[in-house]
């Protein structure tokens, strides 16, 4: 075994193995209080391995592909890749998980089942790393399923449903027949059931790729040949089946509700879920797939259906982006507001990546670097949110200027994270968002102005909800009923380390850019149109900071807070439809089958046949001779007629 495989084994197994001791000693309070440090150390090992891969492993094909026989003769092997995307995303995933784990040492202290939490938290991290570095689609799917299992364990961690602070929504508040309040146990069930809905067609799509391409290694598949082979309908069906898995995992419309109710889990889970693992996984896999499909290079090949699929992804992403931003504008729960904004950001990542069909490789870099900026900014905000929930004993936005002065560190971190994320010039996201503006401008010729308009509207509303989060937590919010601002040293360390990376990314993109960081980011940021959009974003941010709530628009805000009644689809219409279908099957389908085979049709038929047979069982030989002679005559007549035709 080469040393590379030792590095990979440490990368994937260290988090899981280090969490096994605390899982085995779950009955000992003494050990479960000490062993979380071992679990955090396991993630730190993954950080070291990801950094070693980043600086020491090759980046270009075929040297960056590492293969190990898994299922001989099938083309299914353990194939890992250290290309551009995997190198960066691996470091991002491991570093964010480590910072959140450090934070969790404080945040989860005294929890009633730490063994469960740390095992699934580390499994979550290891599963995402497997998704990031996998080149083989089947191996990637193993990590994909690990993410789903771990998300169920973590989102429903507080399964007792005995603390209102872990709920989403207002208890006992009803809109029509639907109660808009969800406990942790329901949040975990909804997450795994929604994701499973997308995983099944995704698995079939992977199986179809294996059948038609004879290979499951993303970087080796002849994608153009595959699409031409299966034709227009085959290309659309194959890619849509695969995309359903990505859309459900990344909570795109109409699969977004699980992400909102997933806020019933611990804040550390929410931070990891929204920044570097679960929700980012769908967008990352789409970027990775498109990186090797290279749709912009297939223009010379008549690839049927491919353009229609990318148009579909583009508009699903843009609509999800605007829907998430509008929903967040009316929300007053800290984590749910951030969840809606994450859905919005992930939608823009999908849209930018889909635009690569017309724009080329640069659009993928825009989508990926927006993912990187968003990951650290959103993780910082979630960690701040968790600290505020501890400090105020409330999951709703609250805290005036006096509270902000007493909570200086989270106040400053929130200012940095929000301003660096929304696209205010000349801060980090401005350069990436300028690149996104330029990408959408390139789509004016093939698709018109709608993509650019949707992007700008989403960006403006997004800036407003980030300012609202800052204002109602630290400047103009209501005075908290409870304040506990002492302690939280490791929590502060966690989000301070997290937000500092945003400043590093700014210098990396703008001042110390390497050849792989295209000059288009800088040139796009220097355009007058980009600067104008940046100033408009700054204006929206400042207005929302000054006026975070507008009483005249309270009804509209409530409508947005209720997610435009999309929960009715998930919690009322679909269950009612499902129960109606099940009743039809039970009352008519099962009864029909039972009647046909067991009680009416078949038994009646056999009864009539048996009665007919009994009528000829007279016991007289002459009757039997007549029957036999009659059958012989019928046979001879049929044979003679057949001979005449021949």
pLDDT in tens, 124-177: 999 999 999 999 999 999 999 999 999 999 999 998 888 888 899 888 888 888
Distance, in Å, from the CA atom of 410 to the CA atom of 381, rounded to the nearest integer, reads 9
Both 204 and 340 in one domain: the answer is: yes
pLDDT at 119 over 90: yes
Tell me, what's the pLDDT at 586? 72
CB 262 within 8 Å of CB 250? no
pLDDT in tens, 582-592: 777 777 777 77
Short-list 436, 372, 380, 357, CA closest to 84: 372
pLDDT at 642 over 70: no
pLDDT at 31 over 60: yes
Count CB atoms within 10 A of the CB of residue 174: 10
CB 369 within 8 Å of CB 509? yes
Both 315 and 416 in one domain: the answer is: yes
Of the listed ranges 1-15, 325-339, 461-475, the one predicted with least confidence: 1-15
Q: Using pLDDT thresholds of 50, 70 and 90, give the confidence band for residue 441.
A: very high
Both 325 and 465 in one domain: the answer is: yes
Backbone phi and psi for residue 304, each to the nearest 5 degrees, phi listed first: -70, 135
* Local structure of residue 333 (DSSP, 8 states): B
Tell me, what's the pLDDT at 623? 67
pLDDT at 100 over 90: yes
Tell me, what's the pLDDT at 603? 79
Both 594 and 645 in one domain: the answer is: no
Both 492 and 596 in one domain: the answer is: no
Residues 6 or more apart from 646 whose CB is under 8 A from it?
none
Both 609 and 491 in one domain: the answer is: no
Average the pLDDT over 371-376 and give the result.
96
Residue with tokens 């992403």: 317
Q: What is the DSSP string of 402-467?
A: HHHHHTHHHHHHHHHHHHHHHT-TTSHHHHHHHHHHHHHHHTHHHH-SHHHHHHHHHHHHHHHHHH
pLDDT at 475 over 90: yes
Tell me, what's the pLDDT at 99? 96
CB 46 within 8 Å of CB 8? no
Question: Is 506 or 130 the better-scoring residue by pLDDT?
Answer: 130
Residues 6 or more apart from 487 whose CB is under 8 A from it?
106
pLDDT at 9 over 90: yes
Both 93 and 155 in one domain: the answer is: yes
Average the pLDDT over 410-431 and give the result.
95
pLDDT in tens, 35-54: 999 999 999 999 999 999 99
Give percent of the chain above pLDDT 70. 95
Interior CA angle at 260 toward 258 and 265, to 5°?
Answer: 90
Residue 69 is encoded by which pair of tokens?
């026989």
Both 81 and 216 in one domain: the answer is: yes
Distance, in Å, from the CA atom of 85 to the CA atom of 187, rounded to the nearest integer, reads 32
Residue 587 is encoded by which pair of tokens?
């009352």
Tell me, what's the pLDDT at 369? 94
Both 611 and 513 in one domain: the answer is: no
Residue with tokens 């843009």: 318
Burial pattern 260-278, b for ≥16 Cβ within 10 A else e, equals bbbbbbbbbbbbbbbbbbb
Backbone phi and psi for residue 136, each to the nearest 5 degrees, phi listed first: -85, 130
pLDDT in tens, 306-337: 999 999 999 999 999 999 999 999 999 999 99
Short-list 356, 386, 116, CA closest to 274: 386
Count CB atoms within 10 A of the CB of residue 385: 26
Tell me, what's the pLDDT at 606? 75
Q: Using pLDDT thresholds of 50, 70 and 90, give the confidence band for residue 459.
A: very high
Find the domain containing 643 and state its range: 621-646
Both 525 and 398 in one domain: the answer is: yes
pLDDT at 594 over 80: no
Question: pTM, whole model, 2 decimals?
Answer: 0.90
Both 140 and 62 in one domain: the answer is: yes
Both 590 and 548 in one domain: the answer is: no
Residue 138 is encoded by which pair of tokens?
């089947």
Short-list 353, 364, 287, 322, CA closest to 131: 287
Q: Using pLDDT thresholds of 50, 70 and 90, give the confidence band for residue 624.
A: low
pLDDT in tens, 567-580: 887 777 777 777 77
Residue 191 is encoded by which pair of tokens?
């997450």
Indicate the length of the chain as a whole number: 646
Q: How many domains does the chain have?
A: 3
CB 368 within 8 Å of CB 339? no
């Amino acid at each position: 075994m080469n040393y590379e495989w030792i590095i990979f084994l440490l990368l994937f197994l260290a988090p899981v193995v280090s969490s096994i001791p605390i899982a085995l000693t779950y009955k000992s309070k003494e050990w479960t209080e000490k062993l979380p440090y071992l679990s955090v150390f396991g993630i730190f090992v993954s950080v070291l391995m990801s950094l070693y891969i980043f600086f020491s492993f090759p980046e270009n094909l075929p040297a960056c592909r590492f293969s190990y026989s898994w299922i001989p003769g099938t083309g299914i092997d353990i194939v890992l890749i250290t290309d551009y995307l995997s190198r960066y995303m691996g470091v991002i995933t491991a570093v964010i998980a480590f910072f959140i784990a450090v934070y969790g040492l404080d945040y989860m202290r005294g929890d009633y089942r730490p063994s469960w939490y740390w095992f699934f938290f580390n499994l979550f991290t290891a599963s995402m790393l497997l998704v990031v570095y996998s080149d083989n689609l089947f191996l990637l799917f193993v990590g994909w399923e690990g993410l789903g299992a771990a998300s169920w364990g973590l989102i429903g961690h507080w399964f007792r449903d005995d603390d209102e602070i872990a709920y989403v929504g207002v208890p006992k508040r009803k809109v029509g027949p639907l109660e808009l309040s969800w406990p942790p146990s329901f949040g975990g069930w909804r997450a795994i059931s929604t994701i499973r809905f997308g995983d099944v067609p995704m698995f079939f799509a992977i199986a179809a790729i294996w059948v038609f391409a004879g290979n499951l290694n993303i970087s080796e598949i002849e994608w153009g040949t595959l699409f031409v082979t299966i034709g227009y309908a085959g290309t659309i069906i194959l890619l849509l089946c695969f995309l359903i898995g990505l859309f459900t995992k990344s909570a795109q419309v109409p699969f977004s509700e699980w992400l909102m109710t997933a806020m019933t889990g611990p804040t550390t889970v929410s931070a990891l879920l929204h920044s570097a693992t679960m929700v980012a996984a769908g967008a990352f896999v789409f970027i990775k797939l498109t990186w090797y499909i290279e749709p912009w290079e297939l223009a010379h090949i008549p690839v049927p259906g491919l353009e229609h699929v990318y148009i579909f992804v583009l508009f699903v992403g843009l609509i999800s982006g605007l829907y998430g931003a509008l929903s967040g504008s009316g929300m007053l729960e800290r984590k749910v507001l951030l969840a809606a904004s994450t859905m919005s950001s992930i939608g823009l990542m999908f849209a930018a990546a889909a635009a690569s069909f017309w724009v080329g490789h640069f659009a993928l870099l825009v989508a990926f670097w927006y993912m990187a900026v968003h990951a650290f900014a959103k993780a910082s905000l979630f960690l701040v949110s968790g600290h505020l929930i501890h400090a105020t004993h409330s999951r709703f936005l609250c805290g005036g200027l006096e509270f902000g002065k007493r909570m200086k560190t989270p106040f400053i971190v929130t200012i940095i994270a929000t301003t660096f994320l929304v696209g205010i010039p000349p801060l980090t996201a401005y350069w990436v968002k300028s690149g996104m503006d330029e990408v959408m401008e390139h789509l004016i010729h093939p698709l018109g102005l709608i993509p650019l308009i949707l992007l700008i509207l989403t960006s403006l509303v997004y800036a407003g909800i980030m300012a609202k989060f800052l204002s109602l937590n630290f400047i103009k919010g209501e005075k908290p009923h409870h304040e506990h601002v002492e302690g939280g040293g490791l929590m502060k360390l966690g989000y301070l380390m997290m937000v500092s990376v945003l400043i590093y990314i700014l210098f990396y993109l703008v001042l110390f850019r390497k050849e792989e960081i295209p000059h288009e980011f800088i040139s796009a940021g220097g355009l007058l149109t980009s600067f104008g959009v940046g100033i408009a974003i700054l204006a929206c941010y400042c207005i929302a900071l000054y006026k975070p709530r507008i009483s005249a628009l309270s009804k509209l805000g409530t409508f947005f807070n209720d997610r435009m009644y999309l929960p009715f689809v998930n919690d009322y219409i679909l269950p009612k439809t499902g129960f109606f279908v099940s009743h039809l099957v039970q009352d008519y389908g099962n009864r029909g089958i039972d009647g046909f085979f067991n009680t009416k049709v078949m038994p009646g038929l056999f009864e009539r046949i048996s009665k007919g047979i009994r009528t000829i069982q007279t016991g007289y030989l002459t009757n039997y001779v007549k029957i036999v002679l009659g059958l012989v005559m019928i046979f001879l007549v049929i044979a003679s007629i057949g001979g005449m035709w021949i």
